[in-house]
Amino acid sequence: MSRQLNVRNPRTGKIDFHINAADAAEIGEAANRLRLAQAEWRDRSLEDRSAALAKLANTLTEAKPEIAKALEADTGRRRIAAMEVDGVVGSIHGWIAQAPHLLPEGWTDGRMNPAIRHAPQFVPYALVGVISPWNFPMTLSMIDTIPALLAGCAVMIKPSEVTPRFAAPFLSAIEAAGLSDVLTIVQGDGATGAALIESVDAVCFTGSVATGRKVAAGAAARMIPAFLELGGKDPLIVLADADVEQATNAALRGSVLSTGQACQSIERIYVQQPLLERFLQRLVEKAGAARLNWPDITVGEIGPIIFDRQAAILEDHITDARNNGARVLTGGEIETHGGGLWLRPTVIADVTQDMKVMREETFGPIMAVMGFSDEEEAVRLANDTEYGLSAAVFAGSIERAEAIGRRIDAGAVSLNDAALTALFHEAEKHSFKLSGLGGSRMGPAGFQRFLRRKALIANTGAPAPLGAFAEDAV
């Protein structure tokens, strides 16, 4: 019996949607169906699979109004909802263009014995499970799905139970493209996600570290790979010779875009002392000018807090900072409008490294700013974290920023900007420390990791007889 789950609307606070959580039996049936179809999908040429995905790009474009509307209800924001659909369409075309160039072909002679040659074969995992979070419901459901499908896998997606509305119009577009045999969406919560891990051959998970640990354990028990993209506590280092206008623009956008509900959001800002006062002054001015997208969703930069329980975490981090001597220079109060929860861009000064706002993932529009004296101290503070998703450095020149960026223990470092991994998907990057596990989801590895390498090893000469290994062989 499937369970019904209530879904809250982030703009009204009302329960206005329900989903039926798929149980293990339903997931098992879907997995069998997908696996059967995958054999044919795998045997098609890359060109054929590319053509099928190009069709999906078309049906998604046609269904954009309905999908974007559903995503808007899921997330309480309009422009980013539309951008999510456009981004997926763009990503399909990008992977179609790139994929034919990513795999080596042909035979290679052996080094030790040239008569023994080898050729690679690339064998896709039959069924990939994708478990996604609520902050970018469609983007993060498709980011691994597209290369997995192109590689020849079938895919089962389980979106977050917090933002499930986009799935129905999205499924219609999948059906219209003729792809439902190899791509489906199952609805549900953590129990559904756990059941999905029992049915797939590889799992791609985007979400929190706490859940990531459970996913990793479930995958380990089944001995299947888990590609984990988890939380972050990204630092931004601003050197004294940085352009303060550009640095504050990047800091604000990198911290509060999507209301800070992005894994690659800047969560800690370290500014070299001579620039600190001026930086704070301009950051506060710019933060204060940002508008809520309430009551009119067509204006403003700051959407509602999507997941109501997140508001309690933001409040806790702000209170902890205040209680320990930090100063909130702007923002700082959770506001209720029309039943939804909002937080204006919040600048906090005089923070210390031991505060929650500097140690735990905040996932909101909060800019905690701390001064430093020299580059050694900046690198030490930036690396003093359990996370290693990404980071940013702003300096008077790219060369100075690069010198520091090379010393930061994180998978991607934006130089003279912030959070560039949200805008640029071509560079391979790992998630360091607690921020993740598995190959890069971006760049060539994002496709290659769905293909197991199989070696075909051919002896063009005569097989060696057993006697060649006899103790008394000469």
Question: Which residues lie near ligand NAD (CB under 6 A)?
Answer: 131-135, 140, 158, 160-161, 189-190, 193-194, 206-208, 211, 214-215, 229-232, 263, 361, 363, 389, 431, 436
Give min distance, CB of 190 to ligand NAD, in A.
3
The answer to whether 110 and 439 are in contact (CB under 8 A) is no
289: how many CB neighbours lie within 10 A of its CB?
A: 11
CA–CA distance, 158 with 255 (Å, rounded to integer): 28
CA–CA distance, 307 with 294 (Å, rounded to integer): 17
Instruction: Name the CA dihedral angle for 204, 205, 209, 215, rounded to a multiple of 10 degrees.
Output: -80
HSE-CB of 232 using CA atoms within 13 angstroms: 33
CB of 250 or CB of 389, closer to ligand NAD: 389
Give min distance, CB of 63 to ligand NAD, in A.
22
HSE-CB of 86 using CA atoms within 13 angstroms: 6
Examine the residue annotation and report whether 204 is marked as an active-site residue of this protein: no
Give min distance, CB of 21 to ligand NAD, in A.
9
Backbone φ and ψ of 200, nearest 5°? -110, 175
Give the 3-state secondary structure of residue 431: coil
CB of 127 or CB of 215, closer to ligand NAD: 215
Sign of CA dihedral 9, 14, 20, 24: positive
Considering the candidates 72, 84, 204, 263, report the single residue annotated as catalytic: 263
Give the 3-state secondary structure of residue 392: strand
CB of 155 or CB of 284, closer to ligand NAD: 155
CB of 37 or CB of 171, closer to ligand NAD: 171
Give min distance, CB of 92 to ligand NAD, in A.
19
Give min distance, CB of 17 to ligand NAD, in A.
15
Examine the residue annotation and report whether 229 is marked as an active-site residue of this protein: yes
Give the 3-state secondary structure of residue 38: helix
CA–CA distance, 474 with 467 (Å, rounded to integer): 10
Direct distance between the N- and C-terminal alpha carbons of the chain, in angstroms, rounded to an integer: 71
CB of 216 or CB of 276, closer to ligand NAD: 216
Give the 3-state secondary structure of residue 348: strand
Residue 28 makes CB contacts below 8 A (sequence gap 6+) with 199
CB of 201 or CB of 229, closer to ligand NAD: 229
Q: 24-43 and 190-197 are packed helices; what angle lies between their axes, rounded to 10 degrees?
A: 50
CA–CA distance, 426 with 135 (Å, rounded to integer): 21
Give min distance, CB of 414 to ligand NAD, in A.
15
CB of 4 or CB of 298, closer to ligand NAD: 4
Considering the candidates 229, 267, 360, 361, report the single residue annotated as catalytic: 229
- 267 sits in the region (left: phi over 0; alpha: psi -120 to 50; else beta) called alpha
What letter represents residue 425's amino acid? H
Nearest-5° Cα angle at 298, 297 to 300:
80
CB of 232 or CB of 340, closer to ligand NAD: 232
Q: Which of 120, 122, 113 is nearest to 459 (CA)?
A: 113
Indicate the residue whose CB is closest to ligand NAD: 193
Give min distance, CB of 421 to ligand NAD, in A.
8
Q: Would you give the distance in Å from CA 305 to the centre of its chain?
A: 18
Give min distance, CB of 152 to ligand NAD, in A.
24
Residues annotated catalytic, as ranges: 229, 263
